Structure 1
Amino acid sequence: MLDDICVTINDIKENLKPGEKFKAVGVLTSARLKRDKNDQPYWDLAVMDASGTLNVKAWSDTKWWDARLGEKKALDQDQLAEIERISRQPVGILGVVTKFKQKLQYHVNQIYLLSADKYPPESFMEKSPVPIEQMERDFWAIVDSCGEPVRTLLHDFFDDEMWERFKVAPAAVKNHHAYVHGLIEHTLDVTKASRAIGSIYLNKGLKIDMDILTAGALLHDIGKLNAYSIDLAPQITLQGAVIDHIPLGYFTFMEFAKRFNFDENVILAIGHIIISHHGKKEYGSPVLPSTPEALIVSAADELDFLVYCWNSTPPADELSLSEYNGVAQRRFWKS
């Protein structure tokens, strides 16, 4: 099935229309056996490649093949029953784009289990579209633009061990920047936007501490290092589920600060940005932003999330409106 050219997941989602067929290779990240309204079984699958993740449906007439040893063999019912327990499995899929209730769906009519030696699962991990080398340069240039004591604080916080974790981490399990290097990409966007907004008000004569603003922006999501993990795809940890990244980040930063003789007001101001950056209590912030620096970081964080949603959501109708995004609470206009 791989003799012809395959398309990427992103190509399928962005460019194909109802009725068009596709052929792709990726890694199966989840497989759940469900039943439709007529009590007929079907598979709800997620297939990922380096460009994104596609949710597909495999109905009762879908053909499953085992091609892991080269020659394809049909899967029997006992083998098919094990699919839910298979992880990190490379697959080839052949399918067609359909539309149901004004929403695009992706149905597969053939699925091939492929050799992990020939198609390493790690090669299909979704990564940030921004080169990591560029983001590392940008990050440290911003850190080094800060004055003391913030510059030293940031260098000490992002030591070698912390940096290796930070630059690989995802920013979410889904919804935005949910891929390798997603956290540093999101953090840089929020920090650059915050500094641009802060400069506007600073130039108007408002008292904006640009170093505290910068440190708070760079550290605002640091709790996600403990809230999420990543194998082939981001996953929430037990800490992330029962505590959440905001208090985890605040605790991580304040515990770090105890080891050093930093000014207490500087630490408190940065900690306030971390603990309040979701902007509203109903969004998960224990307190509301109450300094100009915290207000700016919260606004930049929300803006980056919404712009990401707009950019990653395809139009769904002739008006160029997207499907309703429940998290963003709106349909996006994609003209």
Structure 2
Amino acid sequence: MSDYRSIQELKTLDPALAVPFRGIFILRRKTTKTARNGNPFLSIELSDGTGSFTANCFGDSAIFKVCDEVDEGSILRVSGSTEYFNERFSPRLQAAEALSPEEAAAEGMLGKLVEIPPEPEASLWADLVAGIEAIEHPKLRETVQRAIDETEADFRGAPAAVSMHHAYRHGLLEHTVHMVRNCRALLPLYPEVDGDLAIAGIILHDIGKLEEYEGEMATKVSRIGILQGHVVIGFRIARKAAIQSRLNADLTERLEHIILSHQGEKEWGAAAMAATPEAVFVSMIDNLDAKMGMVQRVLRNSPEGEAFSDYLPGLQTRVLLTPPDKSH
């Protein structure tokens, strides 16, 4: 039996003890910083399918050299001891070595390194297909289908973010499907919203993220993602599909507007403020699922017995993990 511990297992250990451990993780991010004495150190984030943690590697350590020489997305076998700083899990790392995917597979760990949603990909994809089929307007349905057909392979596996929400394999698919489900449940309450446009806008609202992000084992923003961003990229993808499908000018403009405004606020990345019933509706559902996605993820990844999660920047707070007391 492997003596490697998952990150979730490490976080369940007694925080008062410095427990030695070994693990195989992905180097998701590394940032070079300078200490007060002028010496360089690395702030790194390591992850597996159960969670992530950050740690510092100082310039005079062996682990600094290893992490400095490998790229983000590399697989590392590390050893260290558990430690907490300001109530946040931040282990002291002692040694590291880079592994190839084949070596990680030989250790029985490759399939445990990447987080995936709890719902199977096939089930999520079936619901996305059903969402497209629910669009009654033929040209609007054709527009969405054309865009999805051209990106299916990437769409099925892509994350929805680098770190904020649904930031794992199949995360974009999960986020989109959850939004479609919310949309179809809420549409009867808001007859002013055109259901075809709302569903079409939801399915295509984040399609630009397929080009905004890159990386197989660790996600980072691509060159075009930095220079244009997923809102502009998604606008271009939708416009191309609409022109090829001969969608009329009014529906094309309204669909594009949903994509351009779905971020909700300009400081969050929206190119325009939502100005149609459908755009307001989609931006609110997007915000709801993004935030609830953060809650769902932390609930399933937090160690059992913990009262509160770590601080979540996207929610600007820690989440209470214990269920409501309904015993009386």
Residue pair 2:7, 2:50 contacting (<8 A) in 1 also:
yes
For residues 68-147 of structure 1, the aligned pairs below 5 Å read 81=65, 83-87=67-71, 89-114=74-99, 116-120=101-105, 123=111, 124-147=113-136
| 1:186 Cα offset (Å) | 1.0
CA RMSD for the aligned pairs?
3.0
TM-score by length of 1: 0.81
Report which stretch shifted further, 149-158 or 121-130. Answer: 121-130
Residues 26, 101 of structure 1: CA spacing in aligned structure 2 closer, same or farther, 3 A cutoff?
closer
One-letter amino acid of the structure 2 residue matched with residue 49 of structure 1 = D
- Name which of 107, 121, 144 aligns with 1:154: 144
Partner of 1:164: 153
- Give the match for residue 185 of structure 2: 196
In structure 2, which of residues 269, 279, 282 is the aligned counterpart of residue 294 of structure 1?
279
Secondary structure of the 1:128 match is coil
Report the CA distance between 1:292 and its aligned residue. 2.1
For residue 244 of structure 1, the aligned residue among 229, 232, 239 is 229
Alpha carbons of 1:211 and 1:16: their partners in 2 closer, same or farther (altered >3 Å)?
A: farther
The unaligned stretches of length 5 or more in structure 1 are 65-79
1:184 and 2:211 aligned = no
Give the letter for the 1:46 counterpart: E
Q: CA deviation at 1:207?
A: 2.5
Q: How does 1:221-260 map to 2 (within 5 A)?
A: 221-260=206-245
Query: Does the CA-based 8 Å contact 2:80-2:91 persist in structure 1?
Result: yes
Instruction: Give the residue type in structure 2 aligned to 1:218.
Output: I
CA distance in structure 2 between the partners assigned to 1:313 and 1:36 by the alignment: 31
User: 1:300: how far off?
Assistant: 1.1
Aligned equivalents of 1:8, 1:319: Cα separation in 2: 17
* Alignment check: 8 A CA contact 2:262 2:286 kept: yes
Q: Which is strand-richer, 1 or 2?
A: 1
Structure 1 residue 178: Cα displacement: 1.8
Q: CA deviation at 1:114?
A: 4.1
Aligned pairs for 1:16-35 within 5 A: 16-18=13-15, 19=17, 21=19, 22-32=21-31, 34-35=33-34
Q: TM-score, normalised by structure 2?
A: 0.82
Give the Å deviation of 1:213: 0.9
Q: Distance in 1 between matches of 2:211 and 2:228?
A: 10
Instruction: Letter of the 1:95 partner, please give it.
Output: G
Is the 8 Å Cα contact of residues 171 and 224 (structure 1) preserved in structure 2?
Answer: yes
Alignment check: 8 A CA contact 1:197 1:296 kept: no
- Higher RCO (C-alpha under 8 Å, 6+ residues apart): 2
| Amino acid in structure 1 at the alignment position of 2:13 | L
Pick the aligned partner of 1:262 from 219, 240, 247.
247
Q: Structure 1 residues 284, 90: closer, same or farther in 2, change over 3 A?
A: closer
Structure 2 gap ranges (5+): 323-328
Please name the residue that 1:271 is paired with. Answer: 256
Query: Which string of whole-angstrom CA distances, capped at 9 and with x for unpartnered residues, describes residues 172-220 of structure 1?
Result: 111112222111111111221122222222xxxx322111111111111
Within the candidate set 8, 11, 17, 2:6 is matched to: 8
- Shift in CA distance, 247/42, structure 1 to aligned 2, threshold 3 Å: closer
- The structure with the larger Rg is 1
Moved more, 95-104 or 179-188: 95-104
Q: How many residues align?
A: 311
- Alignment-mate amino acid for residue 147 of structure 2: F
